[in-house]
Every structure is written in C-alpha cells, then in structure tokens.
Amino acid sequence: MLGRMRFTEHELTAALTGAAKSVLAAQDKSVRKGRRSVDEAWDALTQYERFQLLDGLGDQVLPVLVALPDVEVQTGTRPTFTTAQVTATVEERVGDDLGKLRRAVVVKARVMLVQVALANVPPRSDPDALTVPDHL
C-alpha cells in the first residue's frame, strides 16, 4: 500500500529522539571514548535534562520535517529525501538576519541534524494491518 508522506506523532518523536541521542553522543565525553553507550547516557539523564535537549532540537528539526515535500512511502520502508530537498527546506526556514558565513554553517548543521532525524524514523506500517502485540 502506498500513501502520501505525512509524519505521524510516533515517527516525529522517534526522529527527534534519534537526533537528540546523536547530539548527546557528540557532547558526552564517556560516550565519545567508548566507556558507555549512547543509550546508557540517555538513561542517565533526568527527565528535565531530556526535555531541555529535546526542546532545543525540536525548534530546529520539527519545522523542517513537517515542511518536507510529500513523497510516496511503501509499507515497511522509511521515507527518503534527497540532500537537495532537505537543504532547500532548511534554507527556507533559516532567517536572513544571519551573516553569509554564519548562515552557511547553520544550514549545513541543520541539514545534517535533519538527516540524522530522518534516519531514525521507523519504517512505515500498514494501517490496515493493525497488529496488537501480545504484551498488550
């Protein structure tokens, strides 16, 4: 079954959480040195620290994800966007009040962040074949 791409709340949450874990992995020295996994570092954060990280990234990532063009997504696959599509969408969202060099850096960083988020979107499931796990 094919469907036009509109992200569900679960997909957006998974994308934002994946981007947040990537940022945490880059910021946490023990993760960078391989002493603990990013999931262990994530679990060690308090709820408020998670909120702060997700809130800061949400303002950068979510508007871009929502503004991406509609694409056809096969059931069981993830949406795919070209780097040009992501870059164009990010450039639309970045204000013109930044200098030329700073704007280029912000655009490049946000494109990479959005691509990390897109890599963490779970595969699209078929809404007609709703299956309830046994543990529920």
| Residue range 110-128: mean pLDDT, rounded | 87
Strands 72-74 and 2-4 turn out to be antiparallel
Cα–Cα dist 59/126, whole Å: 29
Copy the structure tokens of residue 3: 């469907």
pLDDT at 95 over 90: no
Q: What is the pLDDT of residues 24-53, one digit of tens each?
A: 999 989 989 989 999 999 999 999 999 999
Instruction: Count CB-CB contacts under 10 A for residue 26.
Output: 10
Instruction: For the chain, give every domain's residue range.
Output: 2-119
Residue 38 CB-half CA count within 13 A: 12
Q: Which pLDDT score is estimated for 1?
A: 40
pTM metric for this prediction: 0.81
User: In a 3-state reduction of DSSP, which class is residue 2?
Assistant: strand
Band of pLDDT at residue 71, cut at 50, 70 and 90: confident
